[in-house]
Amino acid sequence: MLEIKNLHANINGKEILKGLDLVVRPGEIHAIMGPNGAGKSTLASVLSGNQAFEVTKGDVTFYGKNLLEMLPEDRSREGIFLSFQYPVEIPGVSMVNFMRTALNEHRKYNKLEPMSATDFLRTMREKKELVEMDSNLANRSVNEGFSGGEKKKNEIFQMAMLDPRLAILDETDSGLDIDALRIVANGVNKLKRTDNATILITHYQRLLDYIVPDFVHVLYDGRIVKTGGKELALELEDKGYDWIKKEVDGE
């Protein structure tokens, strides 16, 4: 579904991604790991259409369509979902209003009628249960005053509502205590199907105890330098990133 070829991207004139290749097929879970500054979050930002990043070279297609030419909202409506590392607080916009607008924009894009109020509220209730989200949170402004854990649960809740074909989880495990981590991971696992895929971006192996990846990639200095199975993550946890750096820099 997703093909990334030789992707180069800059921020403020500094090259961060330096020829990244990745192929994701339906049903797969990919973990992208790597040391700080390797370009993990840049990859997530570029895929979601963040204007702060400039793509200088390479192609990204999503089900054959040129992703890089799409507006951020169209990428979402095509089925790409980014769970933000730092979810944004939007004072004054209620979760209900935000989610209803988003969901109905998705439906409009797919030539469906807006969802009825009753169906919408029922769907909200079901999906909130999935991440054990406090029902009061839905009546509050988007992420405003939410704790770190609540914000991340809210990301997975939104993912459940929008039912993406490809979910990119950027450092979803950062700042979570063990209970919140379990709930978030549980939510992701329940949303897993054979026709959707997940990219987990993470610094630590911890999340992979709960969500088992099919592939583990090591991102270093703007490129994927090593790919393996889930055992690669354990090896990284054990040995750190230095041996990879040595391997690559020694080339």
Residues contributing to the site for another protein (CB under 8 A):
48-51, 71-73, 75-77, 82, 84, 87-93, 97-98, 101-102, 105-106, 109, 141-142, 158, 162
Q: Closest distance between another protein and the C-beta of residue 96, in Å?
A: 12
* 81 versus 215: smaller Cβ distance to another protein: 81
Q: Closest distance between another protein and the C-beta of residue 76, in Å?
A: 4
Q: Closest distance between another protein and the C-beta of residue 48, in Å?
A: 5
Smallest CA-to-CA distance from 30 within 9, 47, 11 is with 47
* 83 versus 202: smaller Cβ distance to another protein: 83
* 89 versus 119: smaller Cβ distance to another protein: 89
* 73 versus 177: smaller Cβ distance to another protein: 73
HSE at residue 175, side-chain half, CA atoms within 13 A, is 15
Give the 3-state secondary structure of residue 90: strand
Q: Closest distance between another protein and the C-beta of residue 19, in Å?
A: 25
Q: Closest distance between another protein and the C-beta of residue 131, in Å?
A: 16
Structure tokens at 167: 């979910």
* In the chain, beta strands by DSSP E: 2-11, 14-24, 29-33, 53-62, 65-66, 80-83, 90-94, 141-142, 166-170, 197-202, 215-220, 223-228
- Own/partner long-range contacts of 124-132 (Cβ < 8 Å, ≥24 apart): 124/96, 124/99, 124/161, 127/157, 127/160, 127/161, 128/157, 130/156, 130/157, 130/160, 130/187, 130/190, 130/191, 131/156, 131/157, 131/160, 131/183, 131/184, 131/187, 132/183
* 8 versus 106: smaller Cβ distance to another protein: 106
Secondary-structure percent of the chain, ordered helix, strand, coil, rounded to 5: 40, 30, 30
Q: Closest distance between another protein and the C-beta of residue 235, in Å?
A: 33
Q: Closest distance between another protein and the C-beta of residue 239, in Å?
A: 35
* 47 versus 232: smaller Cβ distance to another protein: 47
Structure tokens at 103: 């969901």
- In Å, what is the CA distance from 220 to each residue of 38, 47, 134, 226? 5, 18, 38, 9
* 80 versus 244: smaller Cβ distance to another protein: 80
